[in-house]
Structure 1
Amino acid sequence: MKLASDGPRPPTSENSEQFNQLQNLFDKSFKAARIGIWECTLPDETITWTDTVYELFGLEPRSPLTRAATVALYTPESRRKLTEVRNAAIRDGEGFTLDAQINSATGDLRWIRITAIVERQDGIPVRLFGMKQDITAEKTLFEQLRILAETDAVTGLASRAKFESMLDEVVASGASARKALLLIDLDSFKAVNDRLGHQAGDDCLREAARRISQAVPNATLIARLGGDEFAVIHDYGSVNDLEHVCQRVVDKLEWWVGSSANKFKVSASIGAAMILPGIAAKDIFAEADKALYAVKAAGKNGFRLLPISDPIADVA
């Protein structure tokens, strides 16, 4: 005979124990991952949190909650974004994920990742619920990697990647403030490297970076492009103003390297181009590069600004 076994089985001490073990494992895993569960009923906005969420916000577990008080712990920009996506979710019925920054009640600045689902009844939103996770370590690591990618390891100036990104941004913005691109090349760097060694070469690059920074303290960006090449993005008011900026850099980048027995004079050549509306970043770079080579061909240690196509650019 075959006995029917369809339908739910009655609880036993064995499967109850297994369930409790799984529940305990689930809770521990969420706690280890710094993940908590939250819900907010609508329209009264009653909030319920698990203990981990309380910990993220620096609040005593099971203490009374009001949405106004908890939202006040978000930084202004994150509060604005949260309001925006939350309103859209309630309106459209779609959930959301948001990385937000909070100032916890204990004074810690933290990043949390919020996931939310909207529950509706007869088309009316009645509850928001989801998870909140501490992602501070993830954000910190990402920021450290970003800084490494955007910073030249030898000089501490902006990297070539950061320069290209900034040039594209300036060109795309079409800002009313006039800006120019200066490409700088050290004239005697190869001799320093060949005769004094790479350590002296690195010291020379760091000194050049320091001198450029002193010459143009108000630059939008100063970057090392690689080797002995540097770039500056700088505001200018007139052609004369831009020429004065270039001359300051040329003057500052003239110094002696090495001992009296093995001494080299370092100088710089500069090619400059104006960042004009409607001209692509690569074309502006090409114009500055052409001007730089003209300086090199003319004997180095100077600057060149190629003819200007903008009829108002030379008006003070």
Structure 2
Amino acid sequence: MNQLNSKNFNNATSTNLDKRLGSLDLFDQAAPLVSIGAWSCDLANERLDWTDGVFDIFGLTSVDALDRESAIELYSEESRELLERKRSQAIEKRAGFTLDASIVRPDGIERWIRITAATRGSNGRTEMLFGMKQDITDDRMRWELLRAQAECDPLTGVANRTRFQRFLDQSSNGVALDDIGTLILFDIDDFKQINDRWGHAAGDACLVNLADNLRKAFINAHLVSRIGGDEFAVLLPSSISRAQTKVELQSLIGSLLRPIQWNGCLLTLKVSVGFAFACKDGKYNPQTLFNTADEALYCAKNRKIFPSD
């Protein structure tokens, strides 16, 4: 009876081993279909182990010398900083993480990868990180295209209110706020009268004309956005000085006041402007900046003059 049980155990063990080997073989065959591979890092010596799938994603071959210091240099600066932070937290807490990161391969091709990581260790100490890396570049491009379409004003081609709202919703210490210098708001005066007299097609022509002028005038802007029916916002970088901003605005107003040709008619366009300067240290609230610019715009519309501050 014991001999029979031993034989059955050996057969079962052999069968399970065959299944595992078969599963590994199946993974090796399927991995190239989705640009995915496995990786591990021994924390004792920072030794990396990659499957062929990961080498392919990074544009390397298995004969290339592989060390973590060289591999981490292939990540973009932002992704590298985020990876190191998540990695440190995972090691400390013995927990896994997921991260979408951008890399630049040695051949100059940029790719997006999704990293999933888990930890292994003993006696309360993390000894190894391991997981999967998958190329998600195509998915990322499709997502970016969908987001761009969702955040684009279909009439004028500039960004819509949804995109501008992402700026307003940032926290006061958001990284993206450091390079904001000026917020400028533009509003077409008596826009309703244009629609009433000439029709909505004429009003649309005015909106398209204004959007085109703003894009051409502020080619270095972080954002040109239509945030309301006849209201536009422009976000300028901090590299453009306050004096330069005022000069460019004064010059732009002249071009905006030129009549617009539409169906053989000349449409007179009047635009009011309000703006606010961000703190030079980047410590400000986006909503407060918007409120300040909006108040300046309100004063300009009532006074019918170009704001001086």
**Cα distance in 2 for residues equivalent to 1:152 and 1:225:** 9
User: CA, structure 1 residues 216+184, in 2 after alignment: closer, same or farther (shift >3 Å)?
Assistant: farther
CA contact (8 A) 1:120 1:127 kept: yes
Residue identity matched to 1:228: D
From 256, 277, 281, the counterpart of 2:259: 256
2:163 alignment counterpart: 162
1:150 alignment counterpart: 151
1:210 alignment counterpart: 212
User: CA, structure 1 residues 180+170, in 2 after alignment: closer, same or farther (shift >3 Å)?
Assistant: farther
Q: Give identity over the alignment, percent.
A: 32
Are 1:182 and 2:182 matched, yes or no? no
**Cα distance in 1 for residues equivalent to 2:54 and 2:180:** 47
SS at match of 1:255: coil
CA RMSD of aligned residues (A): 4.2
Residue identity matched to 2:259: W
The two structures have a TM-score, normalised by structure 1, of 0.71
1:298 alignment counterpart: none
**Deviation by residue 1:258-281 (Cα, 9 ceiling, x = unmatched):** 46x841322123152646878846
SS at match of 1:155: coil
1:84 alignment counterpart: 85
**Cα distance in 1 for residues equivalent to 2:92 and 2:14:** 46
Give 1:131 deviation, angstroms. 0.9
User: CA, structure 1 residues 59+152, in 2 after alignment: closer, same or farther (shift >3 Å)?
Assistant: same
User: CA, structure 1 residues 110+14, in 2 after alignment: closer, same or farther (shift >3 Å)?
Assistant: same
1:67 alignment counterpart: 68
**Cα distance in 2 for residues equivalent to 1:90 and 1:175:** 31
Work out which of the two has the higher radius of gyration on C-alpha atoms and give 1 or 2: 1
CA contact (8 A) 2:183 2:289 kept: no
Aligned residue pairs total: 293
CA contact (8 A) 1:187 1:266 kept: no
Residue identity matched to 2:159: A
> Gaps spanning 5+ residues in structure 2: where?
279-283
CA contact (8 A) 2:183 2:233 kept: no
SS at match of 1:10: helix
User: CA, structure 1 residues 13+55, in 2 after alignment: closer, same or farther (shift >3 Å)?
Assistant: same
User: CA, structure 1 residues 128+218, in 2 after alignment: closer, same or farther (shift >3 Å)?
Assistant: closer
Give 1:113 deviation, angstroms. 1.5
1:228 alignment counterpart: 230
CA contact (8 A) 1:215 1:252 kept: no
The two structures have a TM-score, normalised by structure 2, of 0.72
> Gaps spanning 5+ residues in structure 1: where?
296-301, 306-312
CA contact (8 A) 2:41 2:48 kept: yes
**Deviation by residue 1:159-196 (Cα, 9 ceiling, x = unmatched):** 22222333455977798997454331154576469747
Give 1:37 deviation, angstroms. 0.9
User: CA, structure 1 residues 213+268, in 2 after alignment: closer, same or farther (shift >3 Å)?
Assistant: farther
Residue identity matched to 2:232: F
**Cα distance in 1 for residues equivalent to 2:199 and 2:132:** 60
1:108 alignment counterpart: 109
